[in-house]
Amino acid sequence: MNTINYEHKKLRELGVDERWLQNKIEDDPSILGLGDLNVIERERSQNSGGRLDFLMYDPDDGVRYEIEVMLGRLDESHIIRTIEYWDLERKKYPNREHRAVIVAEEITSRFYNVINLFNQAIPLIALQLDALVVDAGVLLHFTKIIDVNEISLGEEQEVSQPTDLNFWKSKSNAKALEVVGEVENLFKSIGIEPRLTYNKYHIALGTTGRNFMWFHPRKSAAHCSIGLLFDTDSREEFIEKLEEEGFSVSQRKKSLNLKLSHNDLQKSSDLLKELLSTAESLVSR
C-alpha cells in the first residue's frame, strides 16, 4: 500500500478565503461529516442583523443545523454568534430539533473547555478543519472534537431558488429521481393533478393550494427521502400501517418523513394512494 505525503497549511496561506470554503461546503455538505445534509439557505438573514453561514437539515430525521464557519483560530465572538443564531432559529421553529455547529481551523484548549461547558445545556457541535496539501490538490478534513450531548436533545421549505429537472438529473441518483415521477403518476391515477416545482434544495409538490410534499433525491442512494404535511387525527393509524408494510417513518408536529423506492411504490401502492389522497385533502380544504 502506497503512502501519500502531505503538508499541513492554513487556507489563507493557500490564497483562498472563507467564501471559497463556503462554496466547497455548499457543493458537498457531506464533507462536514454530519451526514448527508441538505442546504436550506446560505447566509441566512437574522433578526439581529447578522447572517448565518448555513442553515442545513437532515431529510431523514428533520434535524436542523445552524452552522457558522471561520478561517483561522476560533474566537469568543464566533462562539457567541453561533449560539445566538441557533437560538433565533429554534425560537422561529420550536417544533424542529436544532443543533448549533462551529467550524474553525484551530480550536485552542481554552475554547474547547468553553464549548464543552455550553454543550451541557446546548446541542453544540465543534468541528476543526485541517487543510492537507497533497500532489492532487488540497484535502479538507473535518474532525468532530465536540459532539452533541444527547441528554440535552429532546416541511415547510422557506427558501425557493428555482431550478429545473435537468439540474436534479445532474445531482441525483437516477433511481431516486424516478421516484418523484412515480409519485406524480400515483396522484394522477387517483384523479389528482399534481404540480411539481424544482428548487435548488428540494422538489416540491402541491395541487390547487400550497405545497404539502417535498422530495430530496440524493446522489448516493436509490431511494428518495420525502417530507409530507400530515396534520390529522388519523396520523397514528397511517404510521402503524406504514410500519407494518416495512416503512421507516419519523414524525414532527405536523409532518411525516419517510423513504420511498421504486419497490415500495410497487408493493404498497394502495396504501400510498390512500396516504397521498388524505394529505392532499387536508391542504385543499
What is the CATH classification number for the domain harbouring 268? 3.90.1150.20
Q: Over pLDDT 70: what percentage of the chain?
A: 94
Residues 42 and 51: beta-carbon distance below 8 Å: no
Q: Are residues 57 and 169 in the same domain?
A: no
Torsion angle of C-alpha atoms 190, 194, 196, 197, degrees rounded to 10: -150
Q: Is 270 a residue whose pLDDT tops 80?
A: yes
Q: Is 190 a residue whose pLDDT tops 80?
A: yes
Does the residue 186 lie in any domain? yes
Q: Three-state SS for 215?
A: strand
What pLDDT does 150 receive?
Answer: 44
Does the residue 158 lie in any domain? no
Q: Are residues 65 and 180 in the same domain?
A: no
Residues 55 and 41: beta-carbon distance below 8 Å: yes
Q: Residue type for 155, please?
A: E
Residues 147 and 117: beta-carbon distance below 8 Å: no
- Any residues with CB less than 8 A from the CB of 59 and at least 6 apart, and which? 38, 216, 225, 226, 227, 257
What pLDDT does 149 receive?
Answer: 56
Q: Are residues 124 and 173 in the same domain?
A: no
Domain span at residue 39?
Answer: 7-152
Q: Are residues 15 and 136 in the same domain?
A: yes
Q: Are residues 107 and 180 in the same domain?
A: no
Using a 10 angstrom Cβ sphere, with 0-12 exposed, 13-18 middle and 19 or more buried, the burial of residue 77 is: exposed
Q: Are residues 13 and 146 in the same domain?
A: yes
> What's the total number of domains in the chain?
2
Overall average pLDDT of the 259-263 stretch? 90
Residue 120, all three cell numbers: 451541557
Residues 245 and 260: beta-carbon distance below 8 Å: no
Choose among 68, 62, 19, 18: nearest CA to 37. 62
d(CA 187, CA 207): 10
Pick 25 or 159 by higher pLDDT: 25
Q: Are residues 137 and 182 in the same domain?
A: no
Task: Please report, for the domain that includes residue 95, its CATH number.
Answer: 3.40.1350.10
- Any residues with CB less than 8 A from the CB of 269 and at least 6 apart, and which? 186
d(CA 58, CA 37): 5
pLDDT tens-digit map of 5-21: 888 899 999 999 999 99
Q: Are residues 109 and 220 in the same domain?
A: no
Q: Are residues 56 and 26 in the same domain?
A: yes
Q: Which of 157-161, 216-220, 258-262 shows the highest mean pLDDT?
A: 258-262
Going by pLDDT thresholds of 50, 70 and 90, the confidence category of residue 253 is low
Does the residue 177 lie in any domain? yes
Using a 10 angstrom Cβ sphere, with 0-12 exposed, 13-18 middle and 19 or more buried, the burial of residue 145 is: middle
Q: Residue type for 278, please?
A: T
Q: Is 154 a residue whose pLDDT tops 50?
A: no
Q: Are residues 192 and 266 in the same domain?
A: yes
pLDDT tens-digit map of 69-116: 999 999 899 999 999 999 999 898 887 889 999 999 998 888 888 888
